[in-house]
């Protein structure tokens, strides 16, 4: 698949073929694609938790209510940021951390790699929702410095989501100045 075509045709998939497992080789290639994402200061602060156990997949809805369809996925990849290793600053007049941004870029690579392989996937949010962050931390036994950013159910698609009308709106583009 050509890259630009893939960017335009990727859609969130929430229905998966129950009987088809995504291979470990595919999961590893998807995670390799994630690891080539850009990151602030090239810190690559991501960590990935891969879940395949059916009961654990079904339980995601207890910590993030809009992930109920994860129960039919072949696996879930939780993209997390290591907030100690990410490019960050903590001073009295300046506090910031690029972990969420870096992990968002890694997550998009996961979605696109799935699409390129004919797999379906959907980004489900965790950070910055404090209750979801806490819930996922407890659910997966994550340390305090590991911040879950995305819960991504993956599987062979059992639906073909409608492609949208043109999403490009030239009125949102501001040349030279607002
Ligand atoms: C930050 C973020 C959080 C999202 N959380 C959820 C979610 O919890 N559950 C879900 O089904 N979809 C979730 N989505 C997917 C969006 O609903 C989806 O990307 C949007 O409707 C556009 O559709 P498309 O991905 O097919 O282009 C999320 C997407 C983003 C970027």
Question: Under DSSP, is residue 23 helix (H, G, I), strand (E, B) or coil?
Answer: coil
Q: What is the pLDDT of residue 71?
A: 98
Whether 32 is in a domain gets the answer yes
In short, whether 122's Cβ falls inside 6 Å of ligand 1 is yes
Query: H/E element holding 9?
Result: helix 3-9
Atom 19, ligand 1: residue with shortest CA distance: 12
Q: Which atom of ligand 1 is nearest to the CA of 14?
A: 11
- Distance (Å, rounded) from C-alpha 168 to C-alpha 125? 24
* 8 domain-assigned: no
Q: Which two tokens stand for residue 41?
A: 């200061």
Q: Domain with 102 in it: what CATH number?
A: 3.40.109.10
Residue 122 lies in a domain: yes
- Output the residue whose Cα is nearest ligand 1's atom 13: 124
Q: What is the pLDDT of residues 104-155, one digit of tens each?
A: 999 999 999 999 999 999 999 999 999 999 999 999 999 999 999 999 999 9
- 49 within domain boundaries: yes
Distance of CA 36 to the CA centre of its chain: 14
Most informative mutation of 103, 107, 125, 132 for ligand 1 (most atoms within 8 A of CB): 125
List, in order, residues 6 or more apart from 7 with CB less than 8 Å away.
Answer: 112
Pick the atom of ligand 1 nearest to 164's CA: 27
> What is the pTM assigned to this prediction?
0.98
By the 8 A CB rule, do 151 and 67 touch?
yes
Domain contains 141 = yes
Q: Confirm whether 37 is domain-assigned.
A: yes
Task: Kindly state whether residue 166 falls inside one of the protein's structural domains.
Answer: no
Question: Ligand 1 within 6 A of 14 CB?
Answer: yes
Range of 93's domain?
20-159
Assess whether the C-beta atom of 87 lies below 6 angstroms from ligand 1. no
Number of domains in the chain: 1
pLDDT tens per residue across span 8-51: 999 999 999 988 999 999 999 999 999 999 999 999 999 999 99
What SS3 state is found at 74?
coil
Q: CA-to-CA distance for 101 and 48, rounded, in angstroms? A: 15
């Amino acid at each position: 698949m050509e890259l630009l075509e893939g960017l335009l045709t990727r859609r969130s998939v929430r229905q998966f073929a129950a009987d088809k497992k995504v291979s470990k080789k595919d999961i590893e290639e998807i995670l390799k694609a994630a690891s080539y994402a850009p990151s602030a200061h090239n810190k690559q602060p991501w960590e990935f938790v891969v879940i395949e156990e059916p009961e654990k997949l079904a339980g995601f809805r207890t910590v993030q209510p809009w992930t109920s369809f994860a129960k039919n996925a072949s696996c879930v990849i939780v993209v997390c940021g290591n907030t100690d290793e990410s490019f960050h600053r903590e001073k009295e007049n300046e506090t910031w951390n690029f972990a969420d941004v870096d992990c968002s870029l890694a997550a998009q690579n996961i979605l696109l790699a799935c699409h390129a392989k004919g797999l379906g996937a959907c980004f489900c949010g965790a950070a910055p929702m404090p209750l979801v962050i806490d819930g996922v931390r407890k659910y997966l036994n994550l340390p305090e410095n590991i911040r879950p950013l995305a819960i991504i159910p993956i599987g062979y698609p059992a639906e073909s989501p409608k492609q949208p009308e043109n999403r490009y709106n030239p009125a949102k583009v501001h040349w030279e100045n607002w």
